[in-house]
């Protein structure tokens, strides 16, 4: 885990005074205290580097957190085919808002407070990224071209329609260590692993199949008396 030696936007947002007190109690303030805001210095907004961009574009699942007007956190899972989350530029993440159970808790929260937190995790590489941002709800009627763009997968396939898009303007991000992340693999990765594992055995399997076919022919000949005539 990389520890910055200067104030960062992530430190300004996440390392509040109560958090700092907890850090002091354990001694971790010596690492993280340098990332806290100093006066008005809250650091510049972070940008997505190539590694984080690749992880986000490849994800098929992530978690989105908003805050209710009464201060309760609300976490929603979002999933789709790889590529359903778009990185429009190093400072902007966007995705189509598909119809769900019609509760509209996330959208309603954003109407009151645009602060969001996104949590991406890639289990095979045991990588996780936390993103703070400000979310903008864009209705199809206001920007149909954007919604159409977000409905198009990287392979060119156009997915089912939706009424709006979520555009997240990145404020800060943090990449955690890999400790305690289980190495899980999706269906595509498992099929690839099984194919590779079987590849070395395929030659032996073909030989055994050939020998089995020869034995079946010999048995058939013996049953026929060896001259092709059944007794």
pLDDT digits (tens, 9 = 90+) for 51-77: 999 999 999 999 999 999 999 999 999
Distances (CA, A) of 52 to 87, 106, 127: 10, 24, 10
Q: What three-state secondary structure class fits 188?
A: helix
Q: Is the pLDDT of residue 188 over 70?
A: no
Strand-strand pairing, 127-139 and 115-122 = antiparallel
pLDDT of residue 217: 84
Q: How far apart are CA 49 and CA 29, in angstroms?
A: 27
**Model pTM score:** 0.74
pLDDT of residue 185: 60
Lowest pLDDT segment from 83-87, 98-102, 120-124, 158-162: 158-162
The answer to whether 93 and 78 are in contact (CB under 8 A) is no
pLDDT digits (tens, 9 = 90+) for 141-171: 999 999 989 988 776 666 777 889 999 999 9
Q: What three-state secondary structure class fits 74?
A: strand
């Amino acid at each position: 885990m990389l520890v910055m030696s200067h104030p960062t936007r992530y430190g300004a947002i996440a390392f509040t005074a109560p958090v700092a007190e907890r850090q002091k109690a354990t001694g971790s303030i010596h690492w993280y205290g340098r990332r806290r805001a100093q006066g008005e210095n809250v650091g510049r907004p972070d940008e997505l580097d190539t590694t984080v961009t690749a992880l986000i574009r490849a994800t098929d699942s992530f978690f989105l957190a908003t805050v209710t007007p009464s201060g309760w956190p609300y976490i929603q899972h979002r999933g789709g085919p790889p590529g359903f989350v778009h990185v429009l530029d190093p400072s902007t993440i966007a995705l189509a808002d598909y119809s769900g159970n019609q509760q509209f808790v996330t959208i309603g929260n954003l109407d009151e407070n645009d602060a969001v937190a996104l949590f991406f995790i890639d289990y095979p590489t045991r990588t996780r990224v936390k993103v703070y941002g400000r979310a903008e709800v864009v209705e199809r009627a206001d920007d149909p071209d954007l919604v159409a763009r977000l409905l198009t997968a990287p392979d060119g396939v156009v997915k089912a329609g939706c009424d709006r898009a979520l555009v997240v303007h990145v404020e800060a991000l943090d990449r955690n260590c890999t400790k305690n992340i289980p190495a899980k693999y999706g269906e595509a990765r498992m099929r690839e692993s099984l194919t590779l594992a079987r590849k070395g055995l395929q030659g032996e399997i073909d030989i055994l199949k050939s020998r089995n076919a020869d034995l079946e022919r010999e048995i058939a000949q013996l049953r026929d008396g060896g001259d092709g005539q059944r007794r």
